[in-house]
Amino acid sequence: MVTSIAVAGASGYAGGEILRLLLSHPAYVRGELRIGALTAGSSAGATVGELMPHLKPLAERVLEPTSLDVLQGHDVVFLALPHGHSAELAQQLDASTTIVDCAADFRLESAEQWQKYYQSEHAGTWPYGLPEMPGNRERIATSTRVAIPGCFPTGATLATLPAVQAGLVEPHLTITSVTGVSGAGKKAQVSLLGAETMSNAKAYSVAGQHRHTPEIKQNLQAFTKDSVSINFTPVLAPMPRGILTVASAPVKPGTGAEDVRRAYKRAYASETFVALLPLGQQPQTQHVLGSNLCHVQVELDETAGTVVMTSAIDNLTKGTAGAAVQCMNLVRGFDEAAGLPLVGLAP
């Protein structure tokens, strides 16, 4: 049985990363997985080799226009499209088609929050594609529709959830995430020009304005009865990819350093793609680049009375495309880790 796969938005950073991972997937190597239609918007008609020379095995493939006719008939469709473009296609594809959406269209449960941050009609909510969150792995595996998390919520959730779920902190979190420029996608924008980003760092969408703020809150609120508040600040850094997240929250009385450490060991003991680092070692983006790993550290600052939680991910791999392939593996019955690198690219 051969599984056929289409990638809509294949010319973007997320789409290209999905293809990079699929080309190393054991099922592809065995001939059990076939890469079918590759679509694009303004790049339709170009070859993969023209736009993404690093994907040599697909160099001669021509990108087709993104349409229902082109995507229909595949077993799996990855939607790597801008926010707001997935819903219409998804609603027209066959119910039996596995759809993995890398955009935000189906992440949020609250229609009010969606309309506030995305200014359009809420399309609904799909199972959330972060298997490491308790209960999610089972929901993903039994669904044909999966909403892949945002890259910032992935790093922030994995860094903070064990402390919040165990009730070790007051869930009033200050979160700062430093990101590479590829997180903004492959589009022409003055603020993303090399002259604007090299040797420069800047905060943006501060004070609750970033679209990923309600997603982070949604993830944490599901695991505590206390009211969660998030002060989230993204920072653009002069690097192509990677996200370093630093979060802190007030520690609850009676909580010791061992209690905090124990909660994280318990949460991630059986997780292939989350590594709790030894004490004294901090996550670094260079150690996870190109991999599907999330490195996590947690420490108790007794002087300040806070728990400090940090994580590092590759925004294009674990933060987007790696999570998409991981979820496809669960839905289609492949080994969850199939095709997903456990080794980073440092230095």
- Decide if 291 is inside a domain: yes
Q: 158 and 80 share a domain? A: no
Q: Which residues pair with 234 in a beta bridge?
A: 177
pLDDT of residue 18: 98
- Decide if 338 is inside a domain: no
Per-residue pLDDT tens over the stretch 121-145 = 899 999 999 999 999 999 999 999 9
- Decide if 189 is inside a domain: yes
Annotated catalytic residue 327:
no
Per-residue pLDDT tens over the stretch 191-237 = 777 777 787 899 998 999 899 999 999 999 999 999 999 999 999 99
Per-residue pLDDT tens over the stretch 53-87 = 999 999 999 999 999 999 999 999 999 998 888 99
Per-residue pLDDT tens over the stretch 277-306 = 999 999 999 999 999 999 999 999 999 999
CATH code where residue 301 lies: 3.30.360.10
- Decide if 89 is inside a domain: yes
Q: 172 and 296 share a domain? A: yes
pLDDT of residue 192: 72
Q: 261 and 292 share a domain? A: yes
Sheet of 145-147, strands arranged across = 64-65, 33-40, 3-8, 76-79, 98-101, 145-147
Q: 198 and 309 share a domain? A: yes
Q: CB of 326 within 8 A of CB of 313?
A: no
Confidence of residue 161 (pLDDT cuts 50, 70, 90): very high
pLDDT of residue 78: 98
pLDDT of residue 294: 98
CATH code where residue 324 lies: 3.40.50.720
pLDDT of residue 187: 64
Q: How many domains does the chain have?
A: 2
Per-residue pLDDT tens over the stretch 96-118 = 999 999 999 999 999 999 999 99
Q: CB of 219 within 8 A of CB of 161?
A: yes
pLDDT of residue 175: 98
Q: 218 and 260 share a domain? A: yes
What average pLDDT does this structure show over 251-267?
96
Average pLDDT, the chain: 94
- Decide if 175 is inside a domain: yes
Q: What does the alpha-carbon distance between residue 35 and residue 42 come to, in Å, rounded to a whole number?
A: 21
Q: 157 and 122 share a domain? A: no
Q: Say if strands 306-313 and 294-301 run parallel, antiparallel, or are unpaired.
A: antiparallel
- Decide if 345 is inside a domain: no
Q: 95 and 172 share a domain? A: no
- Decide if 20 is inside a domain: yes
Q: 80 and 184 share a domain? A: no
Which domain range does residue 130 map to? 3-148+320-332
Choosing from 102, 151, 294, 327, the catalytic residue is 151
pLDDT of residue 185: 66
Q: 143 and 184 share a domain? A: no
Residues 6+ apart with CB under 8 A from 178: 201, 234, 235, 237, 243, 244, 245
Per-residue pLDDT tens over the stretch 327-338 = 999 999 999 999
Q: 224 and 196 share a domain? A: yes
- Decide if 99 is inside a domain: yes
pLDDT of residue 197: 75
Q: 135 and 168 share a domain? A: no
Q: 123 and 249 share a domain? A: no
pLDDT of 184 higher than 70: no
pLDDT of 186 higher than 90: no
